[in-house]
């Protein structure tokens, strides 16, 4: 009974504080607001996998190893083959992607730099055929070594 009363009192206090834009409960720190490099990296990857010119060079839907090879080629110019080549102005357009380490398997392509992990996998049922890939991104915190989307496999 006492727990229920305390919960009700705390809810009333929180509602009162929300009217004055204050809170007793601290907001969790958002890694994206701390450093714009994470959001820039995600944006650049989205441009790469959804931009028409880059998508045509990469191909549609490829398995994980092929995706990694094609992305590495578009970003760095390494290991290019089959009509794919480094993107125009790649050093400027994809400046935040230059340090990525690639690790592909049969299903997806995992890329990482420091504590930022990005994963691209083919979308098995895309809502729009112009977007055949899915992008997942996370920033590792504390002592984490893997992102939640990496634990799925």
Q: Which domain holds residue 97?
A: 29-150
Percent of the chain whose pLDDT exceeds 70: 84
Q: Say if 36 falls within a structural domain.
A: yes
Whether residue 75 lies inside any domain: the answer is yes
What is the arithmetic mean of pLDDT over 71-86?
83
Distance between CA atoms of 87 and 80, rounded to whole angstroms?
11
Q: Is 42 part of a structural domain of the chain? A: yes
pTM of the model: 0.72
Within a domain: 55: yes
Asked whether residue 70 is domain-assigned, the answer is: yes
For residue 20, being part of any structural domain is answered with no
pLDDT in tens, 101-115: 998 887 889 999 988
How many domains does the structure of the chain reveal? Answer: 1
Residues in the chain: 153
Per the domain annotation, does 22 fall within a domain?
A: no
Closest CA to 88 of 51, 61, 125: 51
Within 10 angstroms of residue 89's Cβ, the number of other Cβ atoms is: 9
Can you give the pLDDT at residue 25? 63
- From edge to edge, which strands make up the β-sheet containing 133-139? 101-104, 109-113, 116-122, 133-139
Q: What percent of the chain has pLDDT over 90?
A: 16
**Interval 24-64: pLDDT, tens:** 566 666 555 566 888 899 999 998 888 888 888 888 778 77
The pLDDT score that the predictor gives to residue 19 is: 63
Tokens of 12: 């009333």
Residue 64 near residue 51, CB atoms below 8 Å:
no
DSSP state for residue 140 in the 8-state scheme: -
- Rounded CA gap, 30 and 90, in Å? 29
The answer as to whether 8 is a domain residue is no
pLDDT (0 to 100) of residue 18: 67
* Nearest residue to 77 (alpha-carbon basis) of 97, 61, 59, 60: 97
- pLDDT for the residue 17: 62
């Amino acid at each position: 009974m006492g727990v229920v009363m305390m919960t009700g009192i705390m809810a009333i206090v929180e509602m009162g504080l929300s009217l004055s834009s204050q809170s007793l409960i601290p907001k969790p720190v958002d890694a994206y607001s701390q450093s714009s490099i994470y959001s820039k990296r995600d944006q650049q990857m989205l441009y790469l996998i959804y931009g028409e010119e880059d998508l045509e060079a990469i191909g549609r839907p490829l398995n994980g190893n092929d995706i990694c090879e094609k992305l590495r080629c578009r970003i760095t110019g390494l290991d290019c083959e089959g009509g794919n080549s480094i993107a125009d102005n790649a050093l400027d357009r994809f400046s935040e992607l230059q340090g990525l380490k690639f690790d592909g398997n049969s299903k997806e392509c995992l890329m990482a730099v420091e504590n930022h992990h990005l994963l691209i996998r083919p979308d098995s049922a895309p809502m729009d055929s112009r977007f055949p890939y899915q992008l997942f991104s996370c920033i590792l915190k504390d002592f984490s070594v893997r992102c939640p989307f990496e634990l799925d496999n």
